[in-house]
Amino acid sequence: MLIIPAIDIKKGQCVRLIQGKKNQETVYSPDPSAMARRWEAQGAELIHVVDLDGAFDGRPKNLEAVKQILAAINIPIQLGGGIRDISTIEALINLGVARVILGTKVITDPDLIKMACDRFEDRIVVGIDAQDGYVAIRGWQEVTASKAIPLAHQVEAMGVSRIIFTDIARDGCMSGPNFASIEKMVKGVHLEIIASGGISALEDIKKLKRIGVAGCIIGKALYEGRFDLKEAVSVDSE
């Protein structure tokens, strides 16, 4: 199981939100690239980067910060937030982004997902963000009528090989993951599942590993010092 530290960027700074709410942010660093170097030094093999302004506005807004991260580290990053057309996907891959995360377009333009998978194969990751089982899009500002697991079946048919599954109610709250919904997702599809949202203790990581996720994204617990990344990585190697 891959342990993936998160870097969320808003106005060029490294922040964390609570349940994705724009007005509930904590700034942890003015320099996301320095944070990326820190996670690399502590054993990260992949970093999860989200352009929060891009997610809210519908187009990437923090590309300069992304470029600085790419220049600062030797490990790959996956990037999401406001990526909604093929030309943007191609530009980001050419920039050096290893995996591109698509979310809103899974609902609004599923043909784009199929086209992206046909062209870029496993460099495309789909983010399924759920609130009470229903998928939220546009930076979690709009909850749709689509349910998470049926949507996962649909993207699997499109050629997607991995998804990031986030429980919005748990994100940034340090209340523990929604293990029941994560396990249903793992058992319900033949995809690599990366779990996100609510991880607050090393025991959470152990339980996710037992459930069978391919990776887990950790944000606030690292920034608040509940444990350090070296400890999390060592848990995975047990």
Q: Are 97 and 77 in contact (CB under 8 A)?
A: yes
| Structure tokens given for 198 | 């609510």
Q: Are 197 and 167 in contact (CB under 8 A)?
A: yes
Match 């996962």 to its residue by tokens: 152
Q: Is 97 helix (H, G, I), strand (E, B) or coil?
A: coil
Instruction: Name the catalytic one among 8, 53, 171, 204.
Output: 8
Q: Are 171 and 178 in contact (CB under 8 A)?
A: no
Q: Is 129 a catalytic residue?
A: yes
Q: Are 111 and 102 in contact (CB under 8 A)?
A: no
User: Which DSSP string corresponds to 19-31?
Assistant: TT-TTSEEEEES-
Separation CA 101–CA 78 (nearest Å): 7
Instruction: Name the catalytic one among 129, 167, 171, 204.
Output: 129
Active-site residue numbers?
8, 129
